Amino acid sequence: MLRIGVDTGGTFTDFVVQRADGALESFKLPSNPKDPAAVILAGIERATGGVAAEVIHGSTVATNALLERKGACTAFVTTAGFEDLLEIGRQNRAALYELSPPPMRMLVPAELCFGVDERTYHDGTIARRPRNLKRLAAGLRKANVESVAICFLHGWQTPDNERAVKKALEGLGYVCASHEVAPEFREYERASTTVLNAYVGPLMDRYLGNLERQVPHRLEIMQSNGGLLPATVARRQAVRTILSGPAGGVVGAAGVARASGFSKILGFDMGGTSTDVSLCEGEPRETTEASVDGVPIRVPMLDIHTVGAGGGSLARIDDGGLLRVGPESAGAAPGPACYGTGTEPTVTDAHVVLGRIAFDQLAGGEMRVDPERARAAIGQIASRLRVPVDEAAAGILRVANSNMERAIRAVSVERGYDPREFVLLAFGGGGGLHACEIATHLDIRTVVVPQLAGALSAFGMLVADRVRDYAAGVLGGGGHAKVYKELAARARAELPRATLRRFADRRYAGQSYELTIGEHDDFHAAHEKAYGFAMRDREIETVSLRVRATLAVKNPAPRHPGRVKPRRRVRSVHIDGSWREVRALLRNEAPGRATPGPALILDYGSTTLVPAGWRYRCDDAGNLICEHVRS
């Protein structure tokens, strides 16, 4: 059967098509932020021609709704006396020395936080059943809310009260309860996750419902944990799609890296509006303590760090006269100036000015760029800084590189990993243009750029397995074998042929946070690896139990494009402060032996800049391998 991976980005929507014989094809269409489904439907029609297919989609609907605070009008229902739970939070300070930090942008205003007269004790004993539910329902109707998030004190222990309130609120819109979304210890994180699910749920429900009605094919959604989820489930568990698109890139990066014999990689995904970085040591790192735009999320997610630095990131001069790049972006509309509609200077415009992107280079020549518009846009910055246009463009790229370097350090150095022990795997439309320069500053010796770099997130959706995660809080209780058995039964019911793996969140008695490890893994060793020490005489307690069900999917593999004799192409490119004549090659013209740079390697959806001091080759897996020549 035909399989199609679809990744909706800020500038382009990427499609990777796996034919019945295993062959892979890729193409791009301009994104439409106002109607992303229309672009997806057009791409599916182009790919299938009416043939039956399976569609795997990485959605940004939930992500954008959160970042832009454009979710549903949501009410928060909690135990009476705890209505301020979301606003109080953990009292953490992101900037320790900022005396007047800006208030957090709340998903639910105070007037939509409702208390219910009920109580469950810490051991799960129900002391008081919910009261005055008709009054609660009347208040919610009067507030005209679209969705309701229910989270009661100790509801993870015994969810009966949450179930009773949810049943009483049927018909009020999108209603979800914490025991369904995040049945785990810690009221604040559980409440935050449930509220976020309610906040983005109605949008995802409408969006995916519309897609299901219009797409005459099986539709699955990429989860934030790197696995696939049926669209019908994603409509109720929308919080699991917050990092849907970036997760596809992480899975794809791990797959293509293995094909070239690399297991320790730093994923570097530079798209149109942002850059996502991740660390993979054999398997992608996961976390259950993620936070996106200040909102804690207590579901399994791939550990991805995002910064507002992409090809469409806007350059500006701040009030102090310093050059800034991002996080604001030109997006798909109006886009970079060189696309013909925008007027503001962007990172892509800087590359055009410096000769790194030619007028007929994007999307295999299907999309033309306007060098004069790019130069005029960058000229705005140059005139403010009183420098030549090419110097201003080079400055924009240096600032963008600095932003992305910090992100890579955040997932490596700040977590105890030495980036010099990893390869930098660059993808996304702009990753290859920046990767070698960034690697030089981080002292990383090897950069890998896959042949589907411009659409690797869409490719990752084709190699992802079907995955379900199940969890149960057990703090202070026993009967772990029984809990595991119950979780496994739920997993078998949803994925009958799946492989099950057991995990546990454990910590030393007296600690506030825990580590997720395999059921039989050595906690002391895991703690020592994570924090540099172990307390082998300290009691260990288990906070939560987890079961992951995985149904493997037959993975496609990119084929080597086949080498052809290179044509003579030379382009004038600004590198290292001066203009140089640089050889330009198509991917299938790249040699199999190491060849000194500088060079430009051109693909359908991406470009790789190999500076002087680097050498490059295309290996048997079709990956471009760039190596720094140490002096």
Note the pLDDT tens digit of each residue in 507-551: 999 898 899 999 999 999 999 988 889 999 999 999 999 999 999
Residue (of 205, 208, 227, 203) closest to 219 by Cα position: 208
Alpha helices by DSSP H, 79-132: 85-88
Which residues are CB-contacts of 452 (< 8 A; sequence separation ≥ 6)? 16, 24, 26, 252, 256, 427, 459, 558, 605
Percent above pLDDT 90 for the chain:
66
Q: Are 355 and 343 in contact (CB under 8 A)?
A: no
| Mean pLDDT in residue range 435-455 | 94
Q: Which residues lie across from 571 on neighbouring strands?
A: 582
Give the per-residue pLDDT at 366.
63
Which residues are CB-contacts of 434 (< 8 A; sequence separation ≥ 6)? 270, 397, 400, 401, 404, 426, 609
pTM of the model: 0.88
For 503-540, the DSSP string reads EEEEEETT-S--EEEETTS-HHHHHHHHHS---TTS-E
Give the per-residue pLDDT at 448.
97
Higher pLDDT, 524 or 291: 524
Each residue's pLDDT tens digit, 77-105: 999 999 999 999 888 777 778 888 778 88
Residue (of 446, 6, 428, 23) closest to 218 by Cα position: 6
CA distance 157 to 47: 48
- 613: region left, alpha or beta (phi > 0 left; psi from -120 to 50 alpha): left
pLDDT band at 363 (very low <50, low <70, confident <90, very high): low
pLDDT higher than 90, residue 138: yes
| Mean pLDDT in residue range 414-432 | 92
Q: Is 237 exposed, middle or buried (0-12, 13-18, 19+ CB in 10 A)?
A: buried
CB atoms within 10 A of CB 245: 28
Architecture of domain 67-204: 3-Layer(aba) Sandwich (3.40)
Sign, CA dihedral 535-541-544-547, equals positive
CA distance 398 to 93: 30
Which residues are CB-contacts of 344 (< 8 A; sequence separation ≥ 6)? 314, 315, 330, 337, 377, 380
Sign, CA dihedral 97-512-247-197, equals negative
- Identify residue 580 by its one-letter amino acid code: R
Give the per-residue pLDDT at 291.
86
Residue (of 206, 210, 208, 250) closest to 227 by Cα position: 250
Residue (of 231, 251, 278) closest to 556 by Cα position: 251
Q: Which residues lie across from 284 on neighbouring strands?
A: 280
Give the per-residue pLDDT at 229.
92
CA distance 41 to 389: 41
Percent above pLDDT 70 for the chain:
98
pLDDT band at 367 (very low <50, low <70, confident <90, very high): low
The 3-state DSSP composition of the chain as helix, strand, coil percent (nearest 5) reads 35, 30, 40
Give the per-residue pLDDT at 559.
74
Residue (of 85, 316, 99) closest to 195 by Cα position: 85
CA distance 279 to 264: 8
What residue has token string 């020592």?
528
pLDDT higher than 80, residue 566: no
Looking at every residue in the chain, the average pLDDT score rounds to 91
What is the CA angle 197-300-83, rounded to 5?
40
| Mean pLDDT in residue range 322-336 | 82
CA distance 201 to 207: 10
Tokens, residue 110: 């105070």
| Mean pLDDT in residue range 596-613 | 90
Each residue's pLDDT tens digit, 234-281: 999 999 999 998 899 999 999 999 999 999 999 999 987 788 999 999
Each residue's pLDDT tens digit, 7-34: 987 678 899 999 888 888 889 888 887 8
- Please give the DSSP secondary-structure letter assigned to residue 299: S
Cα 576 off chain centre by = 32
Q: Are 266 and 423 in contact (CB under 8 A)?
A: yes
| Residues shown for the chain | 631
CA atoms within 13 A on the CB side of 78: 22
Residue (of 460, 430, 438) closest to 603 by Cα position: 430
Q: Are 558 and 450 in contact (CB under 8 A)?
A: yes
pLDDT band at 631 (very low <50, low <70, confident <90, very high): low
Give the per-residue pLDDT at 364.
56
| Mean pLDDT in residue range 147-175 | 95
Residue (of 484, 547, 478, 473) closest to 189 by Cα position: 473
pLDDT higher than 90, residue 152: yes
CA distance 174 to 71: 12
CB atoms within 10 A of CB 380: 18
Give the per-residue pLDDT at 332.
65
Q: Are 423 and 262 in contact (CB under 8 A)?
A: yes
CA distance 338 to 355: 13
CA distance 464 to 466: 7
Provide the residue ranges of all domains of the chain, joining segments of one domain with +. 67-204, 466-551
Give the per-residue pLDDT at 362.
63
Cα 102 off chain centre by = 25
